[in-house]
Structure 1
């Protein structure tokens, strides 16, 4: 079992570490958070941590990803610490929500859209897009984190030893997912879209396809995001509709 205090005592680059959860910590120097350390608790965690290291080298070769290391047989991942707040925490805090105005939310959605679109243009699916995996930076910028579920678009899901997904953001279990599809990210994107409008998400688990499409068409029409982004999001919604109809 990894012991953070023992590891920290062997380091010269950090003054203290603050746990962020059971498997990660914030590392500080001169009272400033500089890095994030991640580790696993079992074989499955280790698999996804090593997988994330591979994808971070592909996605962020010159930033965010620092390096991986082995400490007493434990695989560790060292990352740039992103100074921001997870979207899930922002949406849970009444004070933070009140400061997250409609215009800021629209800018944030545009930033998130561009981040997901850029990944897909490189042939990559995030795979576990959710509010907890999006960091709000400088009030309007979206930064994606946790790439352990990333895959190449079109790759085979059936040969993977483990599949990572968050049920509340995932496609309905009845949908066969033998191949990795870009729409799994866009489906999750529209759940975040609903949450940003402080609404209970409308999903294909709760609504028919026609109601799902009609609702999000209306939401897009009323949104403050730029017209060009609206049009591109409408195309993504059409792709979701086409997939579920065929």
Structure 2
């Protein structure tokens, strides 16, 4: 059985103070920097695997993303991950609170973060409001447990984790990791922020979906270069 207080006694880099964020999620403080780090722990086989994947892809995406992995430990009982803590709120919490958002800044920065990730050859594969942390109107991606290399087959994952409401539907969903999966989720979030609902893509509304998204992209009044880039990503979905 894992006891975080016992574990901390053997960690010279961290103090003894613990803040509970949720089930199996804690804040611990690094002594040298005084920064708070997030500690996550998993016990079930599938959860342990996904947490190990999150650690792996945090390290692989470190050049472009805000959250860094500091420690990843595993044994027969648990897997433990220590990473940066972003002191912001998830986009889903903002939406639940019906608070005013600088939607253009948030979605512009999310576009940049996604593009940087893709330039590293990585697909996030689980873009949704709860996996986006907002700090000072800037978006930061979290939870890379479902990530993979572009053009690698999904079968490389022992356990899969994704959110049906934001995943590209059949028959458009590819068998390999492709960036259009992330961009489809991005466009749904564009819609969600503007209207509170989403128009999902299906075989019977393909034209309506694209026309709706074109109007939506223009309504954000993005810089012309970004607008052109988003139209290109929209056209890549089908």
TM-score, normalised to structure 2, is 0.88
User: Which residue number in structure 1 is paired with residue 22 of structure 2?
Assistant: 21
Q: Is the 8 A contact 1:115 1:143 kept in 2?
A: yes
User: Which residue number in structure 2 is paired with residue 58 of structure 1?
Assistant: 60
How many positions carry a matched residue from both structures? 233
Q: Is the 8 A contact 1:85 1:137 kept in 2?
A: yes
Match of 1:203 among 184, 200, 205: 200
Where in structure 2 are there 5+ consecutive unaligned residues? none
User: Which residue number in structure 2 is paired with residue 177 of structure 1?
Assistant: 174
Q: Is the 8 A contact 2:43 2:78 kept in 1?
A: no
CA separation of 1:164 and 1:208: change in aligned 2, threshold 3 A:
same
| Distance (Å, rounded) in 1 between the aligned partners of 2:30 and 2:213 | 45
| Cα-to-partner distance string for 1:90-144 (whole Å, 9 max, x where unaligned) | 11113xx13x2xxx21011110000001111111101111111111012x11111
| Distance (Å, rounded) in 2 between the aligned partners of 1:201 and 1:23 | 32
**Pair 1:85-2:89 in alignment:** yes
User: Which residue number in structure 2 is paired with residue 160 of structure 1?
Assistant: 157
| Distance (Å, rounded) in 2 between the aligned partners of 1:74 and 1:37 | 13
| Cα-to-partner distance string for 1:48-105 (whole Å, 9 max, x where unaligned) | 11111111111116962212134785321100111111111111113xx13x2xxx21
Following TM superposition, where does structure 1 have runs of at least 4 consecutive aligned residues deviating by more than 4 angstroms? Answer: 8-12, 70-73, 173-176
| Distance (Å, rounded) in 2 between the aligned partners of 1:63 and 1:171 | 26
CA separation of 1:29 and 1:63: change in aligned 2, threshold 3 A:
closer
TM-score, normalised to structure 1, is 0.85
User: Which residue number in structure 1 is paired with residue 119 of structure 2?
Assistant: 121
| Distance (Å, rounded) in 2 between the aligned partners of 1:41 and 1:203 | 35
Q: Secondary structure at the match of 1:14?
A: strand
Q: Is the 8 A contact 1:27 1:36 kept in 2?
A: yes
| Distance (Å, rounded) in 1 between the aligned partners of 2:152 and 2:129 | 25
Match of 1:46 among 45, 48, 60: 48
Q: Secondary structure at the match of 1:213?
A: helix
What is the root-mean-square deviation in Å for CA atoms of aligned residues? 2.4
